[in-house]
Homo-oligomer: A and B are copies of this chain.
Amino acid sequence: MIVQKYGGTSVGSTERIRAVAERILKTHRAGNQVVAVVSAMSGVTNRLVKMAGEVSPDHEPTGREMDVLLATGEQTTIALAAMAINQMGGSAISLTGEQAGIVTDAEHTRARISNIDPSEVRRLLDDGHIVILAGFQGKTRAGRITTLGRGGSDLTAIAMAAALKADLCQIFTDVDGVYTCDPRVVPDAHKIDEIAYDEMLEMASSGTKVMQSRSVEFAKKFGVRFEVRNSMNDNPGTIVTEEHPNMEAVVVRGVSIEREQAKVTIDNVPDTPGIAASIFQAISDAGIIIDMIVQNMSKTGKTAISFTLHRSDQKKAEDTLRPIVEKLGDPVFMETTDGIGKLSVVGIGMRSHSGVAAHMFTALAKDGINIQMISTSEIKTAVTIDESQLEEAAKVVHSAFNL
């Protein structure tokens, strides 16, 4: 039993839908039971959002109505995909999220799956049908239509695979899998055959956005082994799975880069409990997503707190923190820098191999690249550097770890 997921680009036209239908049918004819989760055709969601803005220019539409609107996108695709398969001699049945037994909480536009009753899907599969399932959507117990937010179709596929105890879940996208680095930056980058959930999560959070973290987290939690592969060719993809001893043979799995970062530093902060908390509470309340946080204490007993964030949020962060800094008074001051980039190396192998950081820093130093901030986790080492040197740094580090 295989659960497949096809994203918006893969089903972006009726011609593409026919190509996807052929692939699904081929999988079925190879002797598999198949559930195919499909997204809205690319462009459709944007068109719906635009119309919502036209009828409701002054107010954000309620999440309830937004979900009723957005859910039509996937519902259109499931019907068309099922028709295409039936036309080719297969037997496909479409199901909306609700019909497939996907129950969510009532957090409209970003609902969480609370339960899946896969009995209807299983019944259709056992009757020999291919099930075409609308991604990204579900229904509350009270019968309201909900959507799952960004990456929702991936989540539908992985959650349904878990509920069905499927043998494999395939996430079809427009790239061949997860790469050791972005091939547009590092021409030597190659596809990774197998990667651990935690590595995938660190790659995602450090710029390699093949999938949203929540889907990977869900897969990890329920032990759903899945494959990221290309819907346009037959190349094998990247298997994402639980870690196993062999994986540690490779110290570093991949290199991620993230551009357009900015850094905010609050300097000369007195070492008093609660100040860091007030800073990050204000940032959180303002809905600003931050990434690395670094704090250093100087000999004077004063602290410098720095964090990075996307450049587009820089001004908002400054406006949010200015009153706090002013209240703390002299000599506390705020300093912001943009034009920085983040470079991360990720690998569960580094747990048992010391010296990864040193090896990375040496490679960068040899090439004259200055490191600004450092942040590490058990399986990741990240640094910020000048954005203009980011691509050069990626090449150097990729090569230093023989990827």
Contact = CB atoms under 8 A, between A and B. Distances in A.
A87 B51 CA distance: 13
A76 B56 contact: no
A191 B58 CA distance: 40
A65 B94 contact: yes
A62 interface: yes
A9 interface: no
Nearest to A72: B72
Interface centre among A21, A57, A75, A79 (most CB of B within 10 A): A79
Nearest to A41: B51
A130 interface: no
A143 B97 CA distance: 12
B68 A78 contact: yes
A284 interface: no
A30 interface: no
Interface string A11-41: 0001101100100000000000000000000
Given A14-B51, A54-B14, A75 B71 contact: yes
A88 B66 CA distance: 16
A79 B58 contact: no
A55 interface: yes
Given A59-B87, A84-B55, A87-B56, A72 B75 contact: yes
Given A18-B55, A80-B55, A61 B86 contact: yes
Interface residues of A, number: 41
A65 B87 contact: no
Given A14-B51, A80-B51, A143-B99, A58 B75 contact: no
A93 interface: yes
A177 B48 CA distance: 33
A76 B49 CA distance: 11
Contacts of A393: none
A80 B66 CA distance: 8
Interface of A: 14-15, 17-18, 21, 48, 51-52, 54-59, 61-62, 64-66, 68-69, 71-72, 75-76, 78-84, 86-87, 92-94, 96, 99, 143, 145
21 contacts: A14-B51, A21-B55, A48-B76, A51-B76, A55-B80, A55-B87, A56-B86, A57-B87, A59-B86, A59-B87, A61-B86, A62-B86, A64-B93, A64-B94, A65-B83, A65-B86, A65-B94, A68-B82, A69-B75, A69-B79, A71-B75
